[in-house]
Structure 1
Amino acid sequence: MSTISIIGSGSMAAAIAGRAAKAGHTVEVVSRDPAKARALADKLAAGAITGTYGAAPAGDIVILAVPYSAAAAVVADFGKTLNGKVIIDVANPFAPDLSGLVTPPGSSGAEEIAKGLPAGAHVVKAFNTIFGHVLAKGGRLDAFMAADDAQAKASVSTFLESIGLRPLDVGDLHMAQTLEALGLMMIGLAKNGAGTWNFAMNADIG
């Protein structure tokens, strides 16, 4: 298995880290707050390590598991250290009142994040359509992803498979706009039609 770096220490970071560690990956946890990074790494108890915030991540795949409102600043803090890395953006750029998306018309959170990355870094949108607590429960879930770079997409697909998910390619990175809208729809469904947050989207394609 490989080393997977996770920037963030919240519930989504913990859910992805837990599945990655269980699958045998070495998980590097990085956070602005070293104590939070250490606490999550200790909780994983599977050879997990912590990294220095702003320094080059150890993994070739770097999971950006921070709120969208913080993503641009985090990318700026890491700067050129992300060159050559595959960046998985998991955030949904929701308005604080969950009334809509805060991205510019015709763009997505993933595309906006990509603008701040070195030319050699490649963004893959993934995980944003899976609730963190559902992901943490385990089980085989569908993971939709979008990216422009075929090699980056292949790497992420292999990673998703390794942690028990079914990767489903929805197209180039501009399709992140649709995935983020789907994330918003899922919240609306949880609050209104479904009456529960304990569900996941499944593409019944055999």
Structure 2
Amino acid sequence: MTAITVIGTGNMGQAIAGIAAQAGANVQILARDLEKAGTTAASIKATAGVVGDAISGEIVVLALPYPALAEIASTYGDQLANKVVVDITNPVDFATFDGLVVPADSSAAAELAALVPAAKIVKAFNTNFASTLVAGEFAGEPTVVQLAGDDEAAKKLLADVIVAAGLKVADAGALKRARELEALGYLQMVLAVREQIGWTGGFAVRA
């Protein structure tokens, strides 16, 4: 049985933890606030702890804002070696909401890979709103999670969990495709902020 650690208890963290539990994984929830971690964990029969506690999952989902990635990399360091580390962030400039804050030839996922080079980084979930993950379907079809990464086995391990929960996966290829996924995630957020779509909407991917 796959073991998954989700760091973060926001809407995305709760949604992804729910997917992991639905897939039959052993789930650990870590947050800065133990009470919040406990509340999320209780709803899916997971274990709870605080950031800084030992990681139990072979897959570690960083369900956190982009600025927190460096802190987590520093906190856990070698503990992330050889683990599948999932970056869900969209590195948006929230002060202006006018673009991404990473260089044009880079991505949040690439920066994370540089911080924890022994980890197997996978970009995923950043093009999904939490509501579509919770619902498990969008536009009449199973919700599709787009992902990218350089380690094929790492992507398959994560994909197997997603599929076991009844969702679908679209593999965009190497980790360098994270840049395009982050741009797509940002555009989707812009449309929602401008009220062109709802936060229950987004881009549908169909095979």
Compute the TM-score of the two structures, normalised by the length of structure 2: 0.91
- Partner Cα distance (1:148, 1:67) in 2: 23
Q: Does structure 2 conserve the Cα–Cα contact (< 8 Å) formed by 1:98 and 1:184?
A: no
Identity %: 39
Tell me the residue number matched to 2:174.
172
- Partner Cα distance (2:197, 2:169) in 1: 27
Tell me the residue number matched to 1:106.
105
SS of the aligned residue for 2:103 comes to: coil
Q: Does structure 2 conserve the Cα–Cα contact (< 8 Å) formed by 1:94 and 1:102?
A: yes
Tell me the residue number matched to 2:159.
157
- Partner Cα distance (1:160, 1:22) in 2: 9
Q: Does structure 2 conserve the Cα–Cα contact (< 8 Å) formed by 1:142 and 1:168?
A: yes
Is 1:93 matched up with 2:91? yes
SS of the aligned residue for 2:172 comes to: strand
Residues 1:52 and 1:192: Cα distance change in structure 2 (over 3 Å): closer
SS of the aligned residue for 2:27 comes to: strand
Q: Does structure 2 conserve the Cα–Cα contact (< 8 Å) formed by 1:8 and 1:30?
A: yes
Tell me the residue number matched to 1:116.
115
Residue 193 of structure 1: how far off its partner (Å): 7.0
Is 1:72 matched up with 2:70? yes
Tell me the residue number matched to 1:41.
41
Tell me the residue number matched to 1:199.
201
- Partner Cα distance (2:9, 2:197) in 1: 28
Q: Unpaired segments of 5 or more residues in structure 2?
A: none
Counterpart amino acid of 2:47? Answer: I
Residues 1:150 and 1:23: Cα distance change in structure 2 (over 3 Å): closer
* Backbone CA RMSD of aligned residues: 1.6
- Partner Cα distance (2:4, 2:162) in 1: 12
SS of the aligned residue for 2:5 comes to: strand
The structure 1 residue matched to 2:130, chosen from 111, 129, 132, is 132
- Partner Cα distance (2:78, 2:113) in 1: 13
Q: Does structure 2 conserve the Cα–Cα contact (< 8 Å) formed by 1:56 and 1:82?
A: no
Residue 56 of structure 1: how far off its partner (Å): 3.4
Q: How many residues are aligned here?
A: 202
Residues 1:136 and 1:104: Cα distance change in structure 2 (over 3 Å): same
Compute the TM-score of the two structures, normalised by the length of structure 1: 0.91
Residue 134 of structure 1: how far off its partner (Å): 2.2
Q: Deviations over 1:90-128 (max 9, x none)?
A: 1110011321101123100000111111x3311000000
Which segment is superposed worse, 32-41 or 48-57? Answer: 48-57
- Partner Cα distance (2:97, 2:157) in 1: 32
Q: Does structure 1 conserve the Cα–Cα contact (< 8 Å) formed by 2:66 and 2:90?
A: yes
